[in-house]
Amino acid sequence: MNTKDILSEVKEKANLWLEGNYDEETKKQVRNLLEHNEKELIESFYRNLEFGTGGLRGIMGAGTNRMNIYTVGMATQGLSNYIRKNFKDLSEIKVAVAHDSRNNSRLFAETTANIFSGNGFRVYLFDSLRPTPELSFAIRHFGCQSGVVITASHNPKEYNGYKAYWDDGGQIIEPHDKNIIQEVQKIKSVDEVIYSGDKSKIEIVGHDFDELYTDQIKTLSLSPEVIRRQNKMKIVYTPIHGTGVKLVPMVLKKFGFSTIYNVPEQDITDGNFPTVHSPNPEETAALAMAIKKAEEVNADLVMATDPDADRVGVAVKDNTGKFIILNGNQTGALLINYLLTKWSENGRLKGKEYIVKTIVTTELLADIADRYKVAHYDVLTGFKYIADIIKQKEGKMTFIGGGEESYGYLAGEFVRDKDAVISCALIAETAAWAKDQGKSMFELLLEIYREFAFYKEKLLSVVKKGKEGAEEIQQMMKSYRTRPPKAINESTVTKIADYQSGEIMDIINSSVTKINLPRSNVLQFFTEDGSKISIRPSGTEPKIKFYFSVCGEMATIEEYEKINRLLGKRIDNIMSDLGVI
């Protein structure tokens, strides 16, 4: 279809909005697009904003391809229809609704709550912004059948999103994800949406519930006596204008920490995120103000959470006293090592405990689990799969903790999504435990490398925009499958895992085993020297992601710099061999 045809089609769709049951402000925005901005008109109407396996995510504005009360409304009506079909025997269906600090998040949350109540559901609506994991906790606490949080996580300020959860408190997975998508697609008009809410069915959830949630988190503490000795350890925390602003400091104080420094400019709840280019704790710039504060007060630990407080970035001092940002694998290793060590010391390991990580997360977590004879499970990328394992093992085994390289972690079973409120408390406790032994977090990390192996990881995202880019990504994956490398960086490829075919091919033994996971467009190459290369197209952005993991022995801590350089060079060579640099 050429540009002229597309423009004709989007104008037709835009005019339907001018004629339909849309509010006057929306119609004014549509008229402005029609009269003054054809490019933006096309972007706003050329397709319907897709309800994907995780819900909605998109730029806010008027139009079928934008986040607004109408696209949110149609998604909620479709979800409501599906919930009713699945729980038709219940006398009352219950749902929970929460939102983050983004622009329009409260409006979208109230719209969602009204539609749910209009459909006859009991709705638990938080009185103001809350962390995404608290929504998961609420679903389980109130015995809800579903829930929604309005958030676009760490996306730029122009975005908002809509994440759907099921009755276990985890994000929607198969078969519900695809079935809900079908129900949403059946809603063809806003006239099918029950916008008129029943206020008698909406219960407002407030501060008392925060106390319940944080009290539950406090039960996860493993070293209260250590914190009593190290309670003045200096912590700098920033919510980056997001939902962690109240609850993270609250839970740190409940754990016993008394010296918590904030970054006042970033405590301001603001969906424009005025102090950062991107509110993403994976990015160094997002932690710059917190690190500056830490340098001023000589802090031991810096933590920053993203807008919906499900992920946390961490900075610690290296051996020269300079603050460095840990990657997600390093923080995960420190956290899992602490949890398993303390569970062992406290006599809580009974042989039925386990941890979970994603397939692209460091194998160091598996090594640590093996050391303590704790089972470990690998799942596809996405915390919903970790939640599903917890659901499967509930009552049979005990989940200690888990995580993913993209800065998301969880401990305990009462939340079923990554939880930065829990993570901040336990990361601070880990730092206090290290300090109580006269060590920094960085020194503790080096000791882990010395005991197990020095794992070094790198993520490379290659952006390929547009239709041609999507085709190029598809061709790259096809090429890796049809002509896989026999060696990478002069190390023989010993195993290839293809999660699309669901098979692992052992090159050395010429054998094939099945992968007991859902199908996914992911390839992994394992080499003789212990390297792991994972390749997958992004499900939400026009990019293909390469995850590089290499490892080597580190006999002494003094060898750190040398081994770090050698492993970094190995990653560079692998990237060169694969033609991605």
What's the half-sphere exposure (Cβ side, CA atoms, 13 Å) at 122?
A: 12
123: its two tokens: 């709705």
234: its two tokens: 């200096």
153 is catalytic: yes
b/e map of 508-537 (b: 16 or more CB within 10 Å)?
A: eeeeeeebebeebbbbbbbbeebbbbbbbb
Phi, psi of 572 (to 5 degrees): -60, -40
Q: How far is CA 167 from CA 53, 171, 266, 388, 490, in A?
A: 16, 9, 34, 12, 49
CA 53 to CA 55: how far, in whole Å?
6
Phi-psi region at 261: left, alpha or beta (left = phi > 0; alpha = psi -120 to 50): beta
Catalytic hit among 153, 406, 491, 520: 153
CA 236 to CA 303: how far, in whole Å?
6
To which residue do tokens 């250590």 refer?
226
b/e map of 344-370 (b: 16 or more CB within 10 Å)?
A: eeeeebeeebbbbbbbbbbbbbbbbbe
DSSP 328-371: HHHHHHHHHHHHHHHHHHTT---S-EEEEEETTS-THHHHHHHH
DSSP 117-160: HHTT-EEEEESS---HHHHHHHHHHHT-SEEEEE--TTS-TTEE
CB-based contacts of 442, cutoff 8 Å, min separation 6: 316, 317, 318, 319, 324
335: its two tokens: 């956290």
To which residue do tokens 């435990």 refer?
433
Q: Give the residue numbers marked as catalytic.
A: 153
